[in-house]
Amino acid sequence: MKNSSSESPLHVAALLGHVDFAKVILSRKPELAREVDSSRRFSPLHVVSQKGYVEMVKVLIQVDPEMSRVRDIEGRNPLHLAAMNGRIEVLEELIRARPLAAYANTIWGESILHSCVKHNQLEALKLVVEIMDDPNSLSAKDEYGMTVLHLAVADKQIETINFLVMNTRVEVNALNTNGYTPLDILAQSRRDMKDLDIVDSLRSAGAFKAIEMQSSVPGIGPIRTKFVPSVTQLGHNIKPLHWQKTKKEEDWLTRKRDSLMVVASLIATKAFQAGLNPPGSLWQDQSPTAGSQANNNTAISKPPHSAGTSILAYNDLSNYSQYLAYNTASFISSLSIILLLITGLPFKRRFFIWVLIVIVWVAITTMALTYRVLIIVFTPREDERTVTRVIEFAVKVWCGVMGLLLVGHTIRVAANLFKTFEILVGKKRGPTLSFNAHDLNKLAA
């Protein structure tokens, strides 16, 4: 008997995981294992595969192993449902019972590997790849021409991408129906912090954009097969490829931006406080002769002062001017960094991060110079010469270190820019490929 949803009692037992009850039903009426409901065309094996009831799967397979190949209304067999839900043990049992069921596709042309990637089930993907051990399945495409690598890149599943390119023979330059490679899919997606890692992973496996794969060899046309060019084949346009990659590095740009924001905020806070509280503090009283130059016909040796003005500016205008200039430079530099980081500008390139680091160096150096002025002001006149020598030497050493770092980083950035310029010029001219007779015959075939 069936209920209103055309589910047999075995469907209900499978849904609730009642193994003993299912065994009794199957012993009396084993044909119920082949019954499907009317809504989704689910068999009892579909239900238990989705739920992950391993013991129930074993019971149903013993009755009729061919049910592993029965498809529901969307063309999915029990293996698809197990893969979509990450049921590893169920997958093992189903593939062991009927290995050919692992090669079935849905009505959209999706394989079990597609189901694993679409539902971000990396462990299930690893299991299926290991058991099937078939490179052709990795290159299988759905109705849109998307391979599993296309899907993983579109969803930016960095761990899945690393697994596919490092541990399988996946086609890294496969084209979908729109003529896009996985690298093209990434370029068209929304920008993300994972993009740099994904690009490194794909490039290390020999991935190209579709436009980069156009061959300049007459009579052969576009090269659309996977190949790993050497440095001599591509001239100097492509760096040597590395097939082994260590653990994923933490995103360098994110860490640098966070560090710059913290440092800039601290410098801005201290510089603001130093501006409000200059050395020697402020006059708290009003000079009785403020605004006049004489009192009872007696000459004033120094100009009058007003409440709230700097005492250092009154006594030592030269040092006060240096202090104010250095502190203001430090304050403005740190504010500039904060402003640039919070405006949302795309500082995702190392060159722009380098510019921000240079501004931080300016802020830190001017803070050191501010410290120099403060020490000189605080030192008694009789000890000023000795202290001044020590401070001057320390500041010179500091500036020397900053100068060496600046020169070193400038040379590195200039070298990177020069290499980038060479690559861009090389792309405009088109890649220069060299083939021997054997290569040409093989490509022509």
Q: pLDDT higher for 238 or 92?
A: 92
Closest CA to 219 of 445, 14, 5: 445
Cβ neighbours around 291 below 10 Å, total: 8
CA 171 to chain centre: 22
**Residue range 130-160, pLDDT digits in tens:** 888 777 888 888 888 999 999 999 999 999 9
d(CA 151, CA 158): 11
d(CA 289, CA 297): 12
Q: Which two tokens stand for residue 187?
A: 């370029």
Q: What is the pLDDT of residue 351?
A: 65
φ/ψ bin of 111: left (φ > 0), alpha (ψ from -120 to 50), beta (otherwise):
beta
Looking at mean pLDDT, say which of 135-139, 251-255, 384-388 comes out highest: 135-139
Strands of 75-143, DSSP E: none
pTM of the model: 0.48
Q: What is the pLDDT of residue 384?
A: 64
**Which residues make beta-bridge pairs with 299?**
294
Reported as half-sphere exposure (CB side, CA atoms, 13 A), residue 419 has a value of 10
| Structure letter (DSSP) for residue 246 | -
d(CA 80, CA 292): 94
Q: Where are the domains of the chain?
A: 1-133, 134-249, 252-284+304-429
Q: Is the pLDDT of residue 434 over 70?
A: no
CATH of domain 1-133: 1.25.40.20
- Which amino acid is present at 390? V
CB 143 within 8 A of CB 136: no
Q: 134-249, what's its fold?
A: 1.25.40
Task: Determine the average pLDDT of the residues in 161-174.
Answer: 89
Do 1-133 and 134-249 show the same overall fold?
yes
Strands of 92-194, DSSP E: none
Q: Is the pLDDT of residue 79 over 60?
A: yes
d(CA 352, CA 34): 64
d(CA 396, CA 400): 6
pLDDT above 70 coverage of the chain, percent: 76
